[in-house]
Amino acid sequence: MKVLIVEDNPNMGAALRDLMRRENYVPDWARSLEDADIMRSNAAHDLILLDLSLPDGDGITFLRGLRAAKDHTPVIVLTARGGLND
């Protein structure tokens, strides 16, 4: 199973990548939304782990773009946000 990790935090990204490898998944790690778009255009992914706060944009906007393009890849949202309105 190929997993796209979209996470700019180096510690969190590395931990997720290493965990995916240990569990025999094939991870791609994008540190920005731009990198995620490039990786998505180069390979199909079975799952996306998506941070909401990235240096070049908001993960929710990225997710809306996926769905508008009829991309129904499952997405698990990861966030450090803690408010109810987040």
pLDDT tops 90 at residue 86: no
**pTM greater than 0.75:** yes
Q: Is residue 24 part of a domain?
A: yes
Residue ranges making up the domain that contains 73: 2-78
In a domain, 31, yes or no: yes
CATH number of the structural domain spanning residue 48: 3.40.50.2300
* Chain segment 63-76, per-residue pLDDT in tens: 999 999 999 999 99
Rounded CA gap, 60 and 75, in Å?
Answer: 11
- Number of structural domains (the chain) is 1
List pLDDT tens digits, range 19-64. 999 999 999 999 999 999 999 999 999 999 999 999 999 999 999 9
Query: The sheet that has 2-6: what strands, in order across it?
Result: 26-30, 2-6, 47-51, 75-78
The answer to whether residue 85 scores a pLDDT higher than 70 is no
Does any domain span residue 8?
A: yes
Asked whether residue 83 is domain-assigned, the answer is: no
Average pLDDT, the chain: 93
Q: Which residues contact 25 (CB under 8 A, 6 or more apart)?
A: 1, 2, 3
